[in-house]
Structure 1
Amino acid sequence: MSTYPNNSSSPVGSIMNEEQAVVKPLPTTAPNELLKSLLAKESDLMERAAKEVVFSKPLVSMDETPIFRRGTINLIQGKQGSHKSRLAELICSFLLSKSEEHQANFLNLKKTDEPVTVVCIDTERNTKEELPVAIQSIKKKAGFKITDHPANFRYTSFKTVPRKQRLLALRAYITEVQSKNSDPLFVLLDVGTDFVSNFNNEEETLEFFDYLNMLCEEYECTFLITIHQNPGTDKARGHFGTEGTNKASGIMQIGFVDGNEELIRLKFLKLRTAKRHKPMYLFFDEDLHGLALATDDHIKKNTAERKKVADVELVAEKLGELLTTSMLQRDLLKVLTSSFDCSENTLKTRLQEIVDQQVEIINEQGQPCTLQIKTANGKPTVYELQEIE
């Protein structure tokens, strides 16, 4: 039986009624009704496509790069304990904040001028201590007292909602929230895989993302979803992660730098409508009790050992800055040896590893590239970046 919710907009309190113990399959829509709906959509698209399209301002930007556009699905992925939830909560605090005078505390993000209602839905933490503390932290970072109840901040727990009821519960809760105001909704789902019974189930996964796309269209929702990575890889968990990668407009990856718990790297794996932002380095600030931008000295101190061995990721990041055009090997090695405390032979080895492993490099235009080595008899070796199609 399909677990896809029906079109009920019943209040969230009735979700656990006995007659709703099992979500019924989505009723089959008559072909003529489907055609009527599609023709109406066609008419609307014809009207919109016949005049200049003015894009709405992104909800959140960073250094002029749009990070979250309205009506999109976005992911934060990372290993267990990599501060995924803290990053997501920081973004929520930023959207709720009443001023930007402490912008540095929000990773130099910029936001839309219009009001946004933030909706946080948790599936993991207990509701007696863990979740209340997280809610307090979001409010305090946004400039509120813990006793304040901002009208544009809504939150609840789905921990006790049966998994097969969670999509129905999601629509019911969003319907209720939207009935109280007309703001665009920014919805955090922490953790996304808890909305399906099996993150390797293709049918459930497709239904989940199709359903979120419907909510984006009908309710002007923008989703931010946290998801765990598979151990030992950079891939988000299971078929859920694969489909999420395809459907998401933006994907961020957060994690410690080579297990160094003093330095955290934030990478932008995907930005559908903009060039990718360069990786950022963060640390956990005890005074802020949250994430903050790492200083140059902090980065230098915590990457010194990696520079001695010319760590592949560090070299790849440097190549993204240097290779704006082709470079001769001797010129490239001269620049690299000034940045890394190792021999030219070690650097040559790392460059070959980057080619062999097809390590992704983000160039100055924010485009993903691979490193190419051009060799020919009697001619000097040349290095250049090639954009990934």
Structure 2
Amino acid sequence: MKNELNLIMSNNLRIDEEKYKSILQYIKLNITEKYEFPQEIVHVGGVTIATLGNFSASTGKPKSKKTFNVSAIVASALSGKEVLKYKAELPPCKNRILYIDTEQSKCHCHKVLERILTLAGLPTDQENDRIQFFVLREYTPEQRRDIISWALHEEQNIGLVIIDGIRDLIHDINSPSESLNIINELMRWSSYYELHIHTVLHLNKGDDNTRGHVGTELNNKAETVLQVSKNMENGKISEVRAMHIRDKEFVPFAFMIGEDSLPHLVEDYQFKINKRDRVTSFVDMSEELHRTALEVTFSECNEFNGYQTLLDALKKGYDSIGYSRGRNTLVNLCKFLMEHKAIVKAGRTYSYNNSFHL
């Protein structure tokens, strides 16, 4: 039935009454049936950012190191190890990766593949049958989509697909119809083949919005959208945060490229926010920002003995994200955090509960 449905969808065939009744049985949701949650395959600090049957994206301005970030995800999926902050695990029956690059030459793509294998701790002097790398720079948008479609049909045990350059699968990035069609294609591919697709799209140069109508559709439909951006004071450092995410927000992290040309995690990195992003009340602050501030608050000590000691540490933590306030506000902030179980009190001792939710 699934093959028949896919044929109808791909060829725009008319559905007669008999086929319609059969399709209804496939698409109908029944309260008496049990449906499994999609398998989680990529995490950041215990937070799920990718599941089978869905798609996600990395976004950022040119030279923000988006491809380095994606390389870390793929390397973790190949090795099962944590790379940067990514911990990926593909099921045994879907442990292969398909990497599609639409922009770069074979020479540059070879460097990406070599980087991925090196990060994964795998040899670079022999082929690895768990990753297929296709270079589609010279093809038209229609040809690229056809090649991807055929590859998904022919390749076996694919669990993760990287499309570095979704913009190159369409002609007009601002076309509502083309944008909707390619996003629908991502949803169809990921669902039908029960895999995860992670794609890459640039941000606008003038702001932090994803480019064109396809960016709007991507934000609306993707499971997770990661934003990779350069540090304003140190261009060698790239910051990674959740722009949109269905799960709870993860604590942002940063990396920089070492002398070995590989991305390395920047330890104990403190994030700052732009003036336009500052909030006037801790109640309006995102969970992501609270987590960032609390990580700094408890970075030197797991727990504090005494209320004033806690307030002093909170001031330091929230100062680090640009939220500098006096004692009265900090007292109310502390009460707010305790009500939401972010800070737990036991006698005179205060500790951080990183599994809190706002």
TM-score bracket, shorter-length normalisation: 0.7 to 0.9
Partner of 1:379: none
Per-residue deviation, 1:246: 0.7
Q: Within 2, Cα distance between the matches of 1:321 and 1:222? A: 28
Change (3 A) 1:203 1:132: same
Task: State whether structure 2 residue 260 is matched by structure 1 residue 275.
Answer: no
Offset of residue 275 of structure 1: 1.1
1:123 aligns with 2:102: yes
1:11 aligned partner: none
The 2-side partners of 1:40 and 1:213 are apart by: 21
- Pair 1:93 & 2:75 matched: yes
Task: Report whether the alignment pairs 1:203 with 2:188.
Answer: no
Q: Aligned partner of 1:228: which letter? A: H
Partner SS state of residue 235, structure 2:
strand
Moved more, 134-143 or 49-58: 49-58
SS, match of residue 163 in structure 2: strand
Name 1:256's counterpart in structure 2.
Answer: 230
**Is the counterpart of residue 291 in structure 1 residue 263 in structure 2?**
yes
State which of 132, 152, 170 in structure 1 corresponds to 2:130. 152
Does residue 41 of structure 1 match 2:38?
Answer: no
Q: Do 2:51 and 2:196's aligned partners in 1 also have CA atoms closer than 8 Å?
A: yes
1:83 corresponding residue in structure 2:
65
Could you tell me which of 104, 107, 112 is aligned with 2:85? 107
Q: Which amino acid aligns with 1:124?
A: E
For 2:71, give the aligned amino acid. Answer: E
Distance 1:89-1:339 versus aligned 2 partners, 3 A rule: closer
- Residues 317-368 of structure 1: CA deviation (Å, up to 9, x unaligned): 6555679xxxxxxx999766545779x9x9469xxxxxxxxxxxxx9899xx
Give the structure 2 partner of residue 13 of structure 1: none
**Alignment match, 1:73:** 55
State TM-score, norm by structure 1: 0.67
Consecutive aligned runs of 4 or more in structure 1 exceeding 3 Å deviation: 25-28, 51-54, 309-313, 315-323, 331-342, 346-349, 363-366
Distance 1:172 1:42, change over 3 A: closer
Q: Which residue of 2 aligns with 1:377?
A: none
Gaps of at least 5 residues in structure 1 are 1-5, 9-24, 324-330, 350-362, 367-385
Give yes or no for the alignment of 1:227 onto 2:201: yes
Aligned length: 304
Amino acid aligned to 2:142: K
Please give the root-mean-square deviation of Cα atoms over the aligned residues, in Å.
3.7
Q: Secondary structure of the residue that 1:94 maps to in structure 2?
A: helix
Secondary structure, counterpart of 1:198 in structure 2: coil
Q: TM-score, normalised by structure 2?
A: 0.73
Percent identity of paired positions between Structure 1 and Structure 2: 21
Structure 1 residues 1-389: aligned runs within 5 Å: 26-32=11-17, 35-42=20-27, 45-46=29-30, 49-97=31-79, 100=81, 103=82, 105-107=83-85, 109-112=87-90, 114=92, 115-127=94-106, 129-177=107-155, 181=156, 183-258=157-232, 260-272=234-246, 274-287=247-260, 289-296=261-268, 299=269, 312=278, 319=290, 338-339=316-317, 347=324
Taking structure 1 as reference, are residues 151 and 318 closer, same or farther at Cα in structure 2, changes over 3 Å only?
Answer: closer
Contact kept, 8 Å, 1:310 with 1:347, in 2: the verdict is: no
Aligned with 1:59: secondary structure? strand
Supply the distance in 1 between the matched residues of 2:168 and 2:181 (Cα, whole angstroms): 14
- What is the CA distance between 1:250 and its match in structure 2? 0.9
Q: Is the 8 A contact 1:201 1:239 kept in 2?
A: yes
Give the Cα separation in 2 of the matches to 1:265 and 1:242: 22
How many angstroms apart in 1 are the aligned matches of 2:24 and 2:189?
A: 20
Note the C-alpha offset of 1:256.
1.3
Matched AA of 2:44: M
Local SS of the residue matching 2:226: strand
| Cα distance change on mapping 1:338 and 1:88 into 2, 3 Å | closer
Change (3 A) 1:318 1:92: closer
Distance 1:285 1:37 in 2: 57
SS of equivalent to 1:208: helix
Give distance in 2, aligned partners of 1:140 and 1:241: 32
